[in-house]
Amino acid sequence: MTLKDIDESKLTPMMQQYAAVKKKYKNHILFYRLGDFYEMFFEDALLVSKELELTLTGRDCGLEERAPMCGVPYHACDVYLKKLIEKGHMVAICEQTKDPSECQGLVPREVIRVVTPGTLIESSMLDESSNNYLCAFYMKAKEASLCLADISTGEVHLFEFSGKDTANSAINELSRFSPSEILINDAVLSNKEISAFIREKIKTSVQLLEDADFDPEHHTDEVLTQFSVNSLDSLGLKADSISAFAVCGLFAYIHDTQKALVGRFSEITRHDADPIMTIGFTARRNLELTETLRNKQKKGSLLWVISNTKTSMGNRMLKSWLEQPLINPAKIIDRLNAVEQLVRDPVALGEIKEVLGGVYDLERLMTRVMYKSASPRDIKSLSLTALKLPDLKKQLSAFDGKLLKDCNRRISTLDAISNLVENALVDEPPANVKDGGVIRDGFNEQLDGLRNIISGGKGIIDDIAEREKEKTGIKTLKIGYNRVFGYYIEVTKSYYDLIPDNYIRKQTLTNCERFITDELKVAENTILGASDKILSLEQEIFTEVRDFIATQLRIVQDTATAVAEVDVLCSYATAAIKNNYTKPEIAIDGIINIKNGRHPVVELMQTDEVFVPNDTYLDLGSNRMSVITGPNMSGKSTYMRQVALITLMAQIGCFVPADYAKISVVDQIFTRIGASDDLTAGQSTFMVEMSEVADIVKHATKDSLVILDEVGRGTSTFDGIAIARSVSEYISTSRSLGCKTLFATHYHELISLEDELTGVKNYSVAVKRQGDNIKFLRKIVPGGADESYGIEVAKLAGLPSKIIGRAKSLLGEMEAEAIKAKAAAAKADADQISFDKISDSIVTDKLRKTNIDEMNDEELRAFVKDLLRYV
């Protein structure tokens, strides 16, 4: 039975209320609060019972048939919500807006929040080490704007693009932030390149909205004031600018879905002013920056190597620094100098890390404060963190470098918060205010008075018990308490005849009877009234404390950011000490010079073979392209990735795995690596390879770093070599490119490029032949490889000896044929030469034997004609 095909007027009033709310949230699952449960009815119940494997029951709804129903307990709803969101659903939460005990008839209900993948705030549903971005993506003609917000931390980013690179730039930002939810307008959907990327490459939930949903005319300041942003003007945005559309689209959506979230966002980071290194989707994946290509795991990624953060905020910032390397040399140097100071003082570093160990997630705690969902323990965590800050500031004050000093300046000790919370809250508050016992004795006089009544109350009850015992002579008389009868006097069977007349019987049990008296009732009212009052007063005080902390949002946010930065710098320093990294020299002359560089991940992952370090020298002149030849499995890919990773590490401000490194800032890193077969997207390996190459030649500049691994491999040998050659020629000679390039190939035919193109240098991976076997030396040496060693590598890989033997004899035959063909060609050339020689000598001979002075015109003409036959 579904809502669509029933007569709503016949429904019970409550079901009519349900139907009315559901109409507004047709595309959502409606969690309808009923007592201690969120119930779902009709089609939602059918769907959810299946998705979450819940029992499907029914409820009388006024019709003959019962309405299908299933439910989840409200206190444990996060688990169910998480599963539904992960399965791609959106959930509207409909709460009772009045206490049912205060209502006559139907309890009013309202949707208080819509839960979508991009608007999560529950820590149980979020990954503490990653940001969770919601993105509004608005396009008009060739212009695009992206506004991204993480509701759980409060950060907002804004981008605007125009011109022919719009789609590409937008795709780069989507790869960088990988938002969990994207709001788009029709123009985005119609852009083939972008919609294919969103559909195929990133895991995200997409909402197609009307253009009007983005239009500032429809929202203007009403939406923006919700977020402490007063107007578009204050953001420096014109109402008709494309960015204004993205900003309004995003905030209007948050406003609609998060009704209670007020003032969480404070500042929008605009990215047009401060460019960063561009790393496309492919390079990000191939270089395994935050997860491995194959298993999508952190272990084995660059992030894993440099990740030694102590706080969740630092963890998230480390990831975002890694995803956005800097290109401003001064900023990179500031970070490197800070890391150097920390590396040089391991004692201070250890102490700072210890303090950071006690720092909680200020950003997400503040979101819960703003959301009014912070628990007493959350508030206590904020205060405990604040108490650590003076110590942190003291440690930092020992450093005089620019960045650490600046961080220290931005960290506030948050005294106002810690003073208030430490005075107001007990040392170990309960998880829920409703449990009571949150506020400390001595903080509020009224509360202390009420508490005295309770503790005095215990004395009153004891007095009554004593007195009654004496008066009645019932030795076993005692006073107990339960929820149903309140306080009662209990008399055991053997004393029944001593029960006085003023005792009012309440309950008879096997061995005893329970009574109340007027005096006991009066005492009970005083005590219970006081404990009710205590609970509501505690709640009131707690709300005041929480609301005060909410007023400190900006200062806590700034502190949180600075603490996170310190944490990342310490994390870099720790990695540098642990793995023996050096401080790179940052340059702008286009030179990358690395001595004994190592691959940061392979050197740690590899246990059976010692990692062999290698040098690199690239510049913008005669060393712009290194052609690296060598057999498969010899270490070409590892070497090239190592150069890219060292460059990237330097530009995020981290020390690098090398004895020495001079790194000239690069604007983009491109990769075309290995067989990243994208069969799921319906593309063959070769197509992927070629479209990656196309992307590189279209977008690389002279300041980029390009890594090409085996271009042209996915097709026939001649095609492959031809493509590989022409791509390298184009990259190394085209005026707009000429960028630093590492090009690995097993086509050793390509070593001739060194002689033909300026800027190309040959390198190879050294291999030692030992009889029939080869040994990889892993050393990159000048000069090209002389052969491919394909069969030897196949043997190393364990191909049966019969196949190896046959391959060898085939190779022998092919080589013999090639030699024969070469000899024939040489002979043909020789013939050509001797024929030329013969003709020359005939002509000379004839000229010598003839006296042209004796010839008349006709004879002369005939003679020349004859000679011309030999020329």
Long-range contacts of 72-81 (CB under 8 A, 24+ apart): 72/31, 72/37, 72/38, 73/36, 73/37, 74/33, 74/36, 74/37, 74/38, 75/36, 77/31, 77/38, 78/122, 78/124, 78/125, 79/124, 80/52, 81/31, 81/115, 81/122, 81/125
Closest to ligand ADP by CB, 551 or 606: 606
Q: Is 142 annotated as a binding residue?
A: no
CA distances from 373 to 376, 507, 841 (A): 10, 42, 105
Closest to ligand ADP by CB, 369 or 601: 601
Distance of closest approach, residue 762 Cβ to ligand ADP, in angstroms: 15
Distance of closest approach, residue 594 Cβ to ligand ADP, in angstroms: 13
Distance of closest approach, residue 672 Cβ to ligand ADP, in angstroms: 13
Site residues (CB under 6 A) for ligand ADP, limited to 755-784: 778
Number of residues that bind ligand ADP (CB under 6 A): 14
Closest to ligand ADP by CB, 339 or 766: 766
Distance of closest approach, residue 787 Cβ to ligand ADP, in angstroms: 14
d(CA 562, CA 313): 10
**787 interacts with ligand ADP by CB under 6 A:** no
Q: Which residues contact 81 (CB under 8 A, 6 or more apart)?
A: 31, 91, 115, 122, 125
Closest to ligand ADP by CB, 395 or 638: 638
Q: Which residue is nearest to ligand ADP (CB)?
A: 635
d(CA 559, CA 565): 10
Put residue 40 in one of left, alpha, beta given phi > 0 → left and psi -120 to 50 → alpha. beta
Distance of closest approach, residue 635 Cβ to ligand ADP, in angstroms: 3
User: What mask of x and - would describe binding to ligand ADP in positions 605 to 644, judged by CB under 6 A?
Assistant: -x--x-xx-----------------x-xxxxxxx------
Distance of closest approach, residue 630 Cβ to ligand ADP, in angstroms: 6
d(CA 837, CA 814): 34
Distance of closest approach, residue 616 Cβ to ligand ADP, in angstroms: 12
* Residues making up the chain, counted from first to last: 871
Q: Is 486 annotated as a binding residue?
A: no
Closest to ligand ADP by CB, 446 or 606: 606
The sign of the torsion formed by the CA atoms of 616, 617, 619, 624 equals negative
Q: Quickly count: other Cβ atoms within 10 Å of residue 304's Cβ.
A: 18
Q: Is 9 annotated as a binding residue?
A: no
Site residues (CB under 6 A) for ligand ADP, limited to 300-329: none
**Could you give the 3-state DSSP secondary structure of residue 371?**
coil
Site residues (CB under 6 A) for ligand ADP, limited to 570-609: 602, 606, 609
d(CA 389, CA 395): 10
Closest to ligand ADP by CB, 181 or 603: 603
**Could you give the 3-state DSSP secondary structure of residue 487?**
strand
User: What mask of x and - would describe binding to ligand ADP in positions 384 to 423, judged by CB under 6 A?
Assistant: ----------------------------------------
Closest to ligand ADP by CB, 287 or 523: 287
d(CA 703, CA 699): 11
Q: Is 123 annotated as a binding residue?
A: no
Distance of closest approach, residue 683 Cβ to ligand ADP, in angstroms: 22
Distance of closest approach, residue 613 Cβ to ligand ADP, in angstroms: 7
Q: Is 633 annotated as a binding residue?
A: yes
Tokens at 592, concatenated: 């990358």
Q: Is 759 annotated as a binding residue?
A: no
The whole-angstrom distance between residue 683's C-alpha and the CA centroid of its chain comes to: 26
Distance of closest approach, residue 729 Cβ to ligand ADP, in angstroms: 23
d(CA 151, CA 229): 15
Closest to ligand ADP by CB, 557 or 762: 762
Closest to ligand ADP by CB, 126 or 645: 645
Closest to ligand ADP by CB, 312 or 637: 637
Q: Which residues contact 281 (CB under 8 A, 6 or more apart)?
A: 171, 172, 175, 197, 201
Q: Which residues contact 638 (CB under 8 A, 6 or more apart)?
A: 599, 602
User: What mask of x and - would describe binding to ligand ADP in positions 263 to 292, judged by CB under 6 A?
Assistant: ------------------------------
**Could you give the 3-state DSSP secondary structure of residue 99?**
coil
Q: Is 635 annotated as a binding residue?
A: yes
Q: Is 779 annotated as a binding residue?
A: no
The whole-angstrom distance between residue 159's C-alpha and the CA centroid of its chain comes to: 18
d(CA 170, CA 161): 7
The binding site consists of 630-637
Interface residue list for ligand ADP (CB under 6 A) = 602, 606, 609, 611-612, 630, 632-638, 778
The binding site for ATP consists of 630-637
